[in-house]
A and B are shown apart, each in its own frame.
Chain A
Amino acid sequence: MANMHKVSFKLNGKGVEVAVEPRELLIHTLRERLAHTGPHIGCETSHCGACTVDVDGMSVKSCTVLTVQCDGSEMLTVEGLEQGGVLHALQQAFHEEHGLQCGYCTPGMLTRAYRLLQENPNPTEQEIRYGIAGNLCRCTGYQNIVKAVQSAARKLATAPAVPA
């Protein structure tokens, strides 16, 4: 316990500083120290993607990243998608296309889809399926998630969202 490390990073645009043990996983820091309970724990082995957050422009499974590895980084979680009271096009599209049921995978799925559309603003269905293959959903069968990502991509193409 004595061996605490100070780590600072930008979380959804705001600077934060935490003191953590070297072994502490990012998901626990976010959820238990920083009250960001959007990202969830599903498998602890990087398979399910419920814990996906965006670190320095990459989708990262926060259940298998140490918090000390994130010093100085810029981080985006689902809580940072809504800007100025306006939902991100992906959040709106997941609602409109019934792209969620129990909601447990949704924060990770949205965060992953956000990065996917940054990298490829106009993905084909196959590219979306490949792009979200690191995020598991047990409820929807993915079909409406794919539709939601396509719909958001179309909307963003006509009216780009405020960069988060």
Chain B
Amino acid sequence: MGDMSELQEREQKLQGMGTSLLRKEDAKFIRGQGSYIDDIKLPGMLFGAIVRSPYAHARIKGIDKSKALACPGVVAVLTADDLKPVNLHWMPTVGGDVQAVLADKKVCFQMQEVAMVLATDRYTAADGAALVEVDYEELPAIVDPEKAMAPDAPVIREDIADKKEVGHGPRTHPNHIFTWEAGDKAAADAAFASAAVTVREEILNPRVHPCPLETCGCVASFNKATGTLTLHVTTQIPHLLRTVLAMLSGVAESKIRVIGGDIGGGFGNKVPVYPGYVVATVASIVTGVPIKWIESRIDNISTTGFARDYHGVGELAADKDGRIKGLRFSALADHGAFNSHVSASKLPAGLFSICTGSYDIPNAYCRVDAVYTNKAPGGVAYRCSLRVTEAVYLIERMMDVLAQKLGIDKAEIRRRNFVKAEQFPYTTSLGWTLDSGAYHPALDKVLKAVDYEGLRREQADKRAKGELMGIGLSTFTEIVGAGPTKVCDILGIGLFDSCEIRVHPTGGVIARLGTMSQGQGHATTYAQIIATELGLPASDIVVEEGDTDKSPYGAGTWGSRSTPVSGAATAQAARKIKDKAKKIAAHLLEVAEGDLEWEIDRFKVKGNPSQAKTMKEICMVSHTGNLPAGMEQGLNAVSYYDPPNLTFPFGAYVCVVDIDKFTGETKVRRFYALDDCGTRINPMIIEGQIHGGLTEAYAVAMGQQIPFDENGNHLGNSLMDYFLPTAMETPHWETDHTVTPCPHHPLGAKGVAESPHVGGIPCISNAVIDAFAHLGVTHMDMPHSAYRVWQQCRALGINKR
């Protein structure tokens, strides 16, 4: 006992926190044995195909199903009129609005769901959908959110035209959804009035789409005999979805089983409840047979879960040394035709008020105005917490704008404004309490690693030769881990999360959680937490998620909340088990609990280390009668964790680009990302998440945008047009880290998967714009495609040989 190599060996056996344990998930995926939604096949299953609107705004004058119904293999055609008797032609949204499940008299965006054809196979369903004849009367469409609130603008939502509010305060126009504000406007205005220098920039976060490789879909199966509904579905929120289905369908929540299965990527796209799920569910309830509905890629990009579309204005006020005195940020938010924007009830603009970033800004005010347009509804958080990318993009861009105005180096202006280590916990002027941070050392480490001074010298040389080289910085603070129930709820349900652990007699463990992995490696990471907490090997710990019949209630996986919330619940549940185990150990060793100490995988008697009980021994004993008086058998626990605060991961990134001024092509020469996510549970998985997040940041910054023409026609809804980077474009990523544990999390962990997306986008934009900074350019909107960068070169007259 106590021999160092023996201790190490025992520790290694656990494969607990801090080790790069290879993933448990991989075994099935590398063999092609994943079970994704389209792999589900049930006896008698029918296929549903959705008939969609070719117009962005039109009245439906009639629907003729006869030709479709005459097609052999077509079983039924459902329209809004068919859903009316069960009152499911409309559904409530989490944003306080309603959304048409199938278009009721009118379509409000192109590709809107009008009917569902049910048929015996997917080819026949598609044939049937093509044969449904819909008579439309086209109406003028609103595509530009700036025009939505014009006095003579067409009214998009006649169904709510008279409503004074749709969930979030008074409306001032039929196309107005809400106005949300935070901060002290008068104080911010005063800071601007007296500032030595002010800067203002219009900054767009364009409409983009998370575009996971697997589209959305479901298989709904209602058993008429038992009255039970099983929904296999691509969802990041199985439990909340079950609650929504119970509210909508009238089926008791106990008789609904939602199964997430394997999810082929989510990135926010699989959070909402989509009309396709609802129609398939109703169809199964009516027909009594299972119904499968699977989106095509075009359906996916056109209709489900877009992100951003925030038309922002950033303003900073500072003294002559660049110390920020005031911030005013606003955004016009295009929510499309229905406010099915994903957000917590009390946060209609999500966590946009994190927009003061990593900086000590005494006076701040921000405002978001949301409007309806004739575009697909929603607004999901694409690999970020709700509206955090939008906020971080604004502040990180504006730091550069201010630096350029004052002629201060872009690293130096950040250093001058950082919240200092001794200021934590630091409450921002918009009300968030940043629990921890060490911003200066992170930035210094990165600048040293890339030889920032050397890069600036190289840039000066290149500029002298007329070449374009840009250096981008991003020193962001994220806000993740929603969240404290006092701050965040959806449909009244607080955003706590849960873990239930059952320990078997021989030391095997099953843990079930309310979250839902979509590739993040939960089965591995949670097992490692339990391994370290309980001293049982990760190899024998099985993690299950996504089946509402099995796992305890939780709010799912989005907003980097799995580790901050469920990781904490896991630790708490394990600690309850460990407390009981300690009592059993004391009983067995005939000592007081206080005489015991924990060592890796066992309790031993202080001062007498040969007297010990391993967890494995205790597991067996806990299932016998040899227990302390009054103690029940078993070694199980469940924990529901309501975090006291959100967590605030941060990072310092540097991006270096070379731009060909004749073609506009931009090459990311170097990207160095330092992330601080607090305690690191599996470094390999963390690095993988950062690679993926940076690649999605690159996609957004360099090429993703969902364009429309003036009639609301979608101009880029297949992978022919929508940019997903290949291995050729994707830069090489260099990663680094510091560790500043979260003080309020039981493990000190903060969440990581979204930081690289949130921090990466402004870093790349800042690099591209920095390449033009010496020519007086202060901003260029994303995406920085070659054509758009070339247009900038042409506008400056530098594209001629």
Contact = CB atoms under 8 A, between A and B. Distances in A.
Given A133-B727, A141-B695, A40 B214 contact: yes
Contact of B265 (A1, A28, A39, A139): A139
A75 interface: no
Nearest to A126: B728
A139 B519 contact: yes
Contacts of A47: 718-720, 724
A38 B31 contact: yes
B264 A98 contact: no
Interface string A106-129: 110010000000000000000011
B719 A77 contact: no
A100 to B, nearest CB: 6
A81 B29 CA distance: 13
B694 interface: yes
Interface residues of B, number: 56
B691 A140 contact: yes
Contacts of B720: 45, 47
B695 A104 contact: no
A117 B407 CA distance: 53
Interface string A77-104: 1110110000100011011101011111
Given A40-B214, A42-B215, A129-B730, 15 more contacts: A23-B123, A98-B684, A101-B689, A102-B264, A102-B518, A107-B32, A129-B728, A132-B727, A133-B726, A133-B728, A136-B213, A139-B519, A141-B695, A143-B730, A144-B688
A11 interface: no
A92 B31 CA distance: 10
Nearest to A37: B39
Interface string B205-243: 000000111110000000000000000000000000000
Contacts of A134: 726
Interface stretch (B18-26, B53-61, B472-480): B18-26
A23 to B, nearest CB: 7
A153 interface: no
B497 interface: no
Nearest to B264: A104
Contact of B264 (A32, A40, A110, A128): A40
B122 interface: yes
A60 interface: no
A38 B694 CA distance: 28
A132 B725 CA distance: 12
B213 A95 contact: no
A102 B263 contact: yes
A43 B262 CA distance: 18
A106 B726 CA distance: 15
B746 interface: no
A91 B28 CA distance: 11
Interface in B66-84: 72-73
B475 to A, nearest CB: 22
Contact of B718 (A39, A45, A105, A132): A45
Given A95-B23, A103-B34, A104-B265, A44 B296 contact: yes
Nearest to B267: A138
Contacts of A135: 727
B512 to A, nearest CB: 20
A124 B86 CA distance: 61
Contact of B32 (A38, A102, A129): A38
A44 B298 CA distance: 9
B362 interface: no
B99 interface: no
A104 B26 contact: no
A47 to B, nearest CB: 4
A104 B123 contact: no
Contact of A45 (B28, B123, B297, B733): B297
A68 interface: no
B38 interface: yes
Contacts of B574: none
A40 B265 CA distance: 13
Contacts of B213: 40, 42, 48, 50, 102, 104-105, 136-138
A17 interface: no
A106 B719 contact: no
Contacts of B31: 38, 78-79, 81-82, 87, 91
A145 interface: yes
Interface centre among B32, B72, B519 (most CB of A within 10 A): B32
